[in-house]
Amino acid sequence: MKKRVVVALSGGVDSSVAAALLQEQGYEVVGITMCFSLAGSQRRKPSCCSLQGIDDARSIAHRLGIRHYVLNMQKALAEKVIDDFCREYSKGRTPNPCVRCNQYIKFGALLKKALSLGAQYLATGHYARIVKVSGPGPGARIYVLKKGKDKKKDQSYFLYRLDQFQLKHVLFPVGGYTKDEVRALAKKFSLPVADKQASQEICFLPQDDYRQFLASRLKLSVRPGLVKDIKGNILGRHKGVAFYTIGQREGLGIAAGYPIYITRLDHRRNLVIVGDKKEACKKEFIIKDIFWSHQPPKKKIALNLKIRYNHKERMAQLKPFGSKFKAAFRRAQFAITPGQSAVFYDKDKVLGGGIIDEVL
């Protein structure tokens, strides 16, 4: 009997090729497209949860001859992702909704649905790899999350919170390919989305404008306030701390005679603090909500640390700090941002990560 696998079929080239590869490997493939009923069809660019995405996913399923279902995930997205997204921004923090979506929606609710349908696995089009290695005990085996082959497309940063149960039941069929190779495979399988533009934006933002989205959701909780430098001098006014992020340079409307960047957001005093680029670079910060893929360290450890998706990981020292961890880079890094994920690596292996809580 064929093993059944549910593929999170977004209508994009990556998930479509993932489905085709698994079918070629002999799996019974079932496609499920998640519908969040938020983005609709009024987007400038393709979205994984737009009506166009659903139609493309249906076309792929028809082309492959597999069953296809659409699953309404609007409630789960609102409760687990959007509420946190708005709450964090209102506190002057910059959240990463894709991390929470992977943890709670794709590899939480959707994985649970896949298993209830008798599938052994849930597969997605993520550029990452999962390998099984020897565990700590005799005959024990554990699952390790690794970077994808295509380092420019690697998405392991967004997946660091996947636990052993999830990793055991998840497949990343395109993780061992580059994006160019995936597009070539799409043409080989005669998939109609071979040349489809990739979606990089947050899927629940109708016009890719998080400020407009926040303004409609937060309403009265966003208040204008003062922009000051680190010495306390008033330089201007801001529209509300929720609309800014650490390291931001554009949109301040301030002529200081030199490039200025946001160095800190103080939501309690409703202040935006700015300075030059050097003042926006820091070394030490506190990480909360730590997740370790295996056994957590009990003492100081040196590892590679990545503070946002497009940041090249750098060597840092990590040590327990009560229920949290304190991290210290060897060299100051630009725009360490509370709310973003800090992910730990050993070469291409993901060790874990957490949420940046406070910059020291």
As a CATH number, domain 223-276 is 2.30.30.280
Q: Which residue has the tokens 């149960």?
A: 165
Q: Which two tokens stand for residue 332?
A: 């100051």
Decide if 197 contacts 45 (C-beta within 8 A): yes
pLDDT values of the chain reduced to their tens digit, one per residue, 360 residues: 789 999 999 999 999 999 999 999 999 999 999 988 654 445 444 455 567 888 999 999 999 999 999 999 999 999 999 999 999 999 999 999 999 999 999 999 999 999 999 999 999 999 999 999 877 777 678 999 999 999 999 999 999 999 999 999 999 999 999 999 999 999 999 999 888 887 666 787 867 788 888 988 887 678 999 999 999 999 999 999 999 999 999 888 888 888 999 999 999 999 999 999 999 999 999 999 999 988 888 889 999 999 999 999 999 999 999 899 999 999 999 999 999 999 999 999 999 999 999 999
DSSP per-residue letters across 153-208: T--GGGGTT--HHHHHTEE-TTTTS-HHHHHHHHHHTT-TTTTPPPP-S-TT-TTS
Report how far apart, in Å, the C-alpha atoms of 307 and of each of 40, 163, 198, 346 are: 32, 21, 24, 15
pLDDT value, residue 178:
97
| CATH 2.40.30.10 residue spans of the chain | 280-359
Catalytic residue among 49, 98, 101, 281: 101
Q: Specify whether 49 is catalytic.
A: no
pLDDT value, residue 206:
67
* Alpha-carbon span 105 to 95, nearest angstrom: 16
| CATH 3.40.50.620 residue spans of the chain | 4-188
pLDDT value, residue 136:
74
Q: Which CATH number fits domain 280-359: 1.10.1200.10, 2.40.30.10, 3.30.70.20, 3.40.50.1820?
A: 2.40.30.10
| CATH 2.30.30.280 residue spans of the chain | 223-276
Catalytic residue among 48, 49, 86, 203: 203
* Alpha-carbon span 262 to 247, nearest angstrom: 5
* Single pTM value for the model: 0.92
- Element of type H or E holding 98: helix 97-100
Q: Specify whether 98 is catalytic.
A: no
As a CATH number, domain 4-188 is 3.40.50.620
